[in-house]
Structure 1
Amino acid sequence: MKKLMLICLFSIVAVGLFAQKTLGQAKSGSAEKSDPQSVSILSKVNTQYASYKSMQLDLKVTIEDGKFKEEIPGKVSVQGNKFRIDSKDQLIISDGKTNWVYLKEAKELQISNPDPDDVAMFSSPDKLIKSYQKDFISAYAGTVTYKGKSVHAIEFKPKDRNSEYAKIRVYIDQTTLSVLQIRIFDKSNINYSIEIEKFVKNPSLSEAHFKFDESTVPKENTIRLN
């Protein structure tokens, strides 16, 4: 679940920043390149998202494989290289120096140093963009009806045929250029839907919001991983 929630967070941030590099890719002579219309839309989304100093989102993650369906609500906050993800099963917090993962049912706290790649993605958007540019190309899939209104649909397809993902589809509001939903199609027939139910730009977030009070968890329930 931790991996899933981080994928959700990275996907949301990456969509807003992807076009900055794919614009150059679309103009190159590469055989695999993103089409100009998708890049044009993503470029506008990028300009908007890149202007935010902080973001807060209410999410609904849906997991389904044809046999079962699970919906997981969550709240996400991002500010620079700091993030906070609160779901029904766990609370994940990083202040850029320390990661805290609190497993709610087990009442267990895991403390670790952040993965350098994770920190780099948030502190340096260019690295996040390059990671998506390396693995995916984008294509405009037309307009679709989403909750009663017409929205842009853009697909990201992996360059690697052996990728675990078949495609990622993103729905973008035509007026506000906000990302509304991200759908991840897994080759193992498990599909993920990440719906942004509420988005707040530039909220005022305290330092304490990106800290975990370790004194609230007994020492015997605290595990230091590194």
Structure 2
Amino acid sequence: MKKLSYFFLALTFTATGAFAQKDADAKVILNKLSAQYRTYDAVKTDFTLAIENQQANVKQTQTGTLMARSKANKYKVTLLTPGAKPTVTQEIISDGKNQWTYLKDANEVQLSTADNSEESFNPAKIFTIYEKGYKYLYTGQQKIAGRVYQVIDLTPEDAKKSFFKVRLMVDKVKNQLYSAQIFDKNGSRYTYTLRTFTPNYKAAETTFAFDKKSHPGVEVVDLR
């Protein structure tokens, strides 16, 4: 479970070189993607998160939802148990000032100050992460189930991070992010795949704050 939180709240990568020849091609695709995303007030997506590490014999999949209002750094991530009748296992919520991490099994919520700095990553930035501090390379197209996706590899300029690459796949026709695959130095791969995407989702402001009343007996751990 900690790995899932880590994926959303600490998405960072390490740098490599030789990302120069097709930089312009990647930039055109990414600029078009982020320009469209920034026209939306809020978005909602259902996603699948697959974690795999062959050396450690780890292979697991989890589903969830993300609602984000990127202009205000507000978001809500809900992680679900696998199976025919999924239930909530964890929630990560931010109103732009505070961040709540709710663990259902422990009936505990951790309250911390939201990090809105340029160096930080949060789920509200997932569609625009490349814009500052990253190099990018267009590697070609890939067809899956009849759809054509443009593939772009990203690396950051900071070589001290624990991830060495993230691979984005962008739907060529819809101009939407389809997946992001993160390559960890320890051999793990985290693949975030969007199953649905709802632009201009009507999200109430209460969506982006933890509701203590709806979680009877929850323990609040204030880390601010």
Scaled by the length of structure 2, the TM-score of the pair is 0.78
Q: 1:43 to 1:68 in 2, by over 3 A?
A: same
SS of equivalent to 1:45: helix
Between the two proteins, the alignment pairs up a number of residues equal to 201
Structure 2 residue ranges without an equivalent (≥5): 81-88
Residue 3 (structure 1) aligns with: 6
Of 164, 184, 187, 1:186 maps to 184
Q: Deviations over 1:188-213 (max 9, x none)?
A: 10001010111000011111111222
Alignment of 1:1-226 (within 5 A): 1-7=4-10, 33=20, 35-66=23-54, 67-79=57-69, 80-88=72-80, 89-117=89-117, 133-134=132-133, 136-217=134-215, 221-226=219-224
Identity, % of aligned pairs?
A: 27
CA distance in 2, matches of 1:121, 1:74: 19
Q: CA RMSD of the aligned region, Å?
A: 2.9
Q: 1:118 to 1:94 in 2, by over 3 A?
A: farther
Is the Cα–Cα contact under 8 Å of residues 108 and 217 in structure 1 kept in the other structure? no
Scaled by the length of structure 1, the TM-score of the pair is 0.77
Greater per-residue helix proportion: 1
Structure 1 residue ranges without an equivalent (≥5): 12-30
Is the Cα–Cα contact under 8 Å of residues 148 and 172 in structure 2 kept in the other structure? yes
Q: Deviations over 1:89-129 (max 9, x none)?
A: 3111111222221101111122222224289877x97xx76
Taking CA–CA contacts closer than 8 Å with sequence separation of 6 or more, which of the two structures ends up with the larger relative contact order? 2
Q: Deviations over 1:120-175 (max 9, x none)?
A: 877x97xx76x7532x2111101112233221111113445554222211111111
Is the Cα–Cα contact under 8 Å of residues 155 and 168 in structure 1 kept in the other structure? yes
CA distance in 2, matches of 1:63, 1:210: 27
Q: 1:211 to 1:163 in 2, by over 3 A?
A: closer
SS of equivalent to 1:117: coil
Report the AA paired with residue 137 of structure 1. K
